[in-house]
Amino acid sequence: MTYQQPNPEPTGSRVGQAFGGFFRFLVRFLFVLAVGALIGAGLFYLVPWTVRSLVLPVRQNTARIAVLEQKMAQEQTRLQDENRALQDHVADLETEMATLREQSAVQNQDIEGAAGQIQQLDARITQVEGDLTAQQEDLVAQQKAVEVARSELDSAIADLSEQTDQVAGQTDELEGRLALLQTAQDLLKVRLLLLEENSRSARDTLALATAHLEQAMPLMPEQAETLTTLQERMVGLEALIAEGSFRVLPELESLWADVMDLVLPAIAPPAGEATS
């Protein structure tokens, strides 16, 4: 058995292997550099874009929400103050209405007293007529006195009836204004509910305001045309609320102002001041 030496590798193959290893190392190194460059470029452009697209809008929206919440709180405070003022005015009107009712009761008592006096006079006239045969001369004078007294009583009764009618008319007008004041208060509640984005409760409160307006219509016949127009505007306002229109608040404020003009009509100046 003979020993054979292994054939030595050619020198060219070693050089090729070394060159191939160096080439693979260079390719890997360039690949790593390219990946690092892409990552760096991505971070360089992506971070500012993220800040502009996400962080800054969030900060701006947060600031806007804070401003809107502050405005809403101020508006609610103002509306609450107006509501308290309206409630105080309602209390004053109720007191005035109670006073007028007391005056009406007193005048009714006066009318009853006058009716009693008329009955007494009728009894006296009957007695005088029974004594006609014996007192013919006195009868003429007594009849004249009775006629004068009856005329005065009739005049007093007519005056009392006229005053009673005036008081009744004033009472109806005050009740009508009170119903309109409740309508205005309901409209303020509707505005508060709309600011709270509670459109369903706002529509229910608007229906209550319409009912109060309908109560005022028979009590204020001279304002029938104006009240009918307000009623039609309330129907249109309900449609705007259902649609979520931006014209709801301006229309609501205009409607509230028109109702308050009927509740608190302008007082005419005295004749002397008007001419001066």
Q: How many residues does the chain have?
A: 276
Mean pLDDT of 103-119: 80
Cβ count near 181 (within 10 Å):
22
What are the extents of the domains in the chain?
51-265
Radius of gyration in angstroms for the set of CA atoms belonging to the chain, rounded to a whole number: 48
Q: Residues 167, 198: contact at Cβ < 8 Å?
A: no
Mean pLDDT of 56-84: 83
| CA distances for 16 relative to 2, 27, 88, angstroms | 33, 16, 106
For residue range 190-249, list pLDDT tens digits in order. 888 888 888 888 888 888 888 888 888 888 888 878 888 888 888 888 888 888 778 888
Q: Given pLDDT bands bounded at 50, 70 and 90, which one contains residue 155? A: low
| CA 79, 83, 88, 90 torsion-angle sign | positive
Q: Given pLDDT bands bounded at 50, 70 and 90, which one contains residue 269? A: very low
**Distance in angstroms (rounded) separating the CA atoms of residues 196 and 78:** 15
pLDDT of residue 196: 85
pLDDT of residue 163: 52
**Distance in angstroms (rounded) separating the CA atoms of residues 194 and 243:** 13
| Percent of residues, the chain, with pLDDT higher than 90 | 0
> What is the pTM for the complete model shown?
0.38
pLDDT at 142 over 70: no
Q: Residues 203, 242: contact at Cβ < 8 Å?
A: yes
Q: What is the mean pLDDT of the chain?
A: 77
pLDDT of residue 135: 66
- Name residues whose C-beta falls within 8 Å of residue 57's C-beta, 6 or more positions apart in sequence: none
∠ CA 225-186-179 to the nearest 5 degrees? 50
pLDDT at 183 over 80: yes
